[in-house]
Every structure is written in C-alpha cells, then in structure tokens.
Amino acid sequence: MSEVTDNPVDARALHLQLAVNRAHSAARGGDLDLAARLLDELGELDGPGEPGEAGRATVVAALNLRAKVHAQRGELPEADACWSRVEALAPDDPDAAAGRRTLAKIAAGRRHARPVVHTGRVAVIAGALAATVAGVALIGGAVKLIDGGEGGGSGSVAEADKGSERLSEESRRADELKARLAAIEGDRTADAEQRDSALDEVAKQLAMPGVEIRRHAGDVRLVFRTGVFPYDSVIGPEGAEALTEIGRRLADLSAETPVETTVVGHSVAVPGGAPSGGSVVALNRARVAAQYLAQDSDLRLTDFRLVSADQRRGPFPATAANAPRNRTVTLLITPKGPPPTP
C-alpha cells in the first residue's frame, strides 16, 4: 500500500479514483443507472478546485466512462459532450477520438441505434459503435460489440468477457483506496483532538486575574484588561508582575505541552504620526514584555517571537477611552504540532 498522505489535493484525487472504480464496477455488472448516478455525484470533474495534474488521468478516465454510459443509454449528445471535454484535457486520447467519430456517423445517418440486451437489463446503444470498437468491451467487458457493417447491419452482442480477475483487482484497489482515505481522515481527527486538548490545557494553566483568555481554533490569546505600559516603553508594576507570573507558567506548561509564544506589541496612533503599519514603540514594548516573561523562568528571549501590531489593530476598539488599555502587549500561544485542519 502507498504511504498515506494528508495532502488535501491527494485526498481529493483518491476520493475521485475510488468513486470512478465503483462506477466502473457497476457498469461492468450492467447497472448503467447506478454507474450514471455515481458519476453524476462527482459533479464537474474538470472544473476548478478538482485534483489538478495529479488526478488528471483519473478525471479523463471518469469522463470517458461517463461518455460510454451515456452512449449505452442512448444519450448521444451527452456522450459527445463528455468526449469533447476529454479531448480538451487529453487531445490524444484514443477513446474520445473514436467515440466522437462514431457519433458523427450516427448524426449523419450512417448508423442506427438498436437495443442491446445484457444480463436481464435493456440498454439502448449506438449500433455504429460496433464498427469503431469492434470486438472490444465498451465498458470493461460488460458489453462486447461485433462489427455490424457500414450499413448498420444486424450485428450481435457477444457474451460478457471473463473479467472476474479484473473485477477482483478493481475491488481490491477500491478497498485499498477506501482504507487510505479512512486513514487520512482518522489522522486528521486525531490531530484535531490532540490540538484541542493542548489548547484547553493552555487556557487552563494561563488563566489568572486581570488577564482575558480568548480561545480560537488554533491558538489561545492572552489580553490584559488594563494597559501594561502607562507611556512609551515603561512598564507598569501590575503588568510587570503579571508577565513574570505568566513566564513561570509558560515554562511549566512547555515541559508537558510544547508551545510557541508570540509577543505582540501595541501602540496608539497619535496626531501627526503614522496611522498604520506598526511602530518602533510597539516593538520595544514586545521586547520589554519578553524580558519579564524570561527573567524568572527557564525560558530564553530567543524562545519568543516579537512582532508589532498595526496601530489600528489594538486588543480593544480604537476609541479615546480605550487608549490606555491599548498601550499594551498581547500574547499569542500556539501548541507546537500539526496545524488545524481547514
């Protein structure tokens, strides 16, 4: 079995291949309605957002199969449309070229549709397809055609070829793909549960008076309810005490739940100053805060990521009343490990 991948593009390609295999098996068994329904559920195979180059061969196979199912059901314009899309993706595809040539003959009156009976089901197919795919199974051996002659003669339907081994192989591949998809989904679920547990632990350990815990999908943000810096980069006594205590808790937390801490400095736009883009004052506040986080713990200054926030992005709304509260820092705590699933 191939190595399981959690790449969402590869996962979509695997899902598509599994669905095509199921439709192919249904068509081989003569259940064209089921095959058509499975293919229709895939939607626009060659539209935006599909697997792309990695799944191009599977998309081409799906469109070819859809065209052949349409042809057997007598839906010739739909079959031609599918083969046209195949040619757009793979100009040298032989099935599309042969199918469209035969449909053109039917449209010109050189072939006539006739009923074909197979395993108790009745399907309408273009008799002229026999001339193009004479002796070759239209869909994996489910229906085999004999050349009916240029004038659309009687022709005949051969017995289904002995495709049990091939069908068994396709079933095995379908089961393998299903298992791979299940493994990918299981890994994603386990990662999400692990991350949620880590975030819960972070929020629990860092909860303290004067600090607001804002829990998000991928991180925990600590917001001080009062401003940490009364002015410039001079820290207030309450802010210094709170940051020192948080540093000790972060050190204890990292021993059990490794985290990454980003210290975000904030500033307030002043008349004549830049209204956006961050500031030196905000970055200096982040540096000062990191020093207090590290001074009484085993953490180093290099353990923290320091950034300046935009003046317009304070933790509280940018009003005159909130200006003292926005002269501060916020702490962004992110568990180390797999990122959250989109």
Least Cα distance to 26 among 44, 14, 41, 45 occurs for 41
Average pLDDT, the chain: 76
Q: How far is CA 54 from the centre of its chain?
A: 14
3-state secondary structure of 217: coil
Least confidently predicted of 142-146, 159-163, 246-250, 270-274: 142-146
| Whole-structure pTM value | 0.47
Tokens of 326: 């926005």
Give the model confidence (pLDDT) of 137-153 as tens digits.
Answer: 444 443 333 233 344 43
Residue 201's contacts (CB-CB under 8 Å, 6 or more residues apart) are: 253, 256, 257
Sheet with 304-308, strands from edge to edge, namely: 211-215, 220-224, 329-335, 259-265, 304-308
Give the model confidence (pLDDT) of 188-218 as tens digits.
Answer: 777 778 888 888 989 999 999 999 999 888 8
Domains of the chain: 8-161 (1.25.40), 197-335 (3.30.1330.60)
Residue 59's contacts (CB-CB under 8 Å, 6 or more residues apart) are: 16, 45, 46, 50, 51, 89
Cβ neighbours, 10 Å, residue 88: 11
Quick check: 62 pLDDT over 90?
Answer: no
Quick check: 113 pLDDT over 90?
Answer: no
Quick check: 263 pLDDT over 80?
Answer: yes
First to last CA, the chain: 26
Q: How far apart are CA 59 and CA 208, in angstroms?
A: 55
Tokens of 38: 């499975």
Tokens of 120: 């108790």
Instruction: Tell me phi and psi for residue 157, to 5 degrees.
Output: -110, 120
pLDDT value, residue 340 = 47
Cα–Cα distances in Å, from 98 out to 4, 45, 95, 147? 37, 21, 5, 14
pLDDT grade, residue 271 (50/70/90)? low
Q: Are 51 and 61 in contact (CB under 8 A)?
A: no
Least Cα distance to 252 among 288, 299, 219 occurs for 299
Task: Count how many Cα atoms sit within 13 Å of the Cα of residue 149 in the half-sphere of its side chain.
Answer: 6
3-state secondary structure of 74: coil
pLDDT value, residue 262 = 95
pLDDT grade, residue 272 (50/70/90)? low
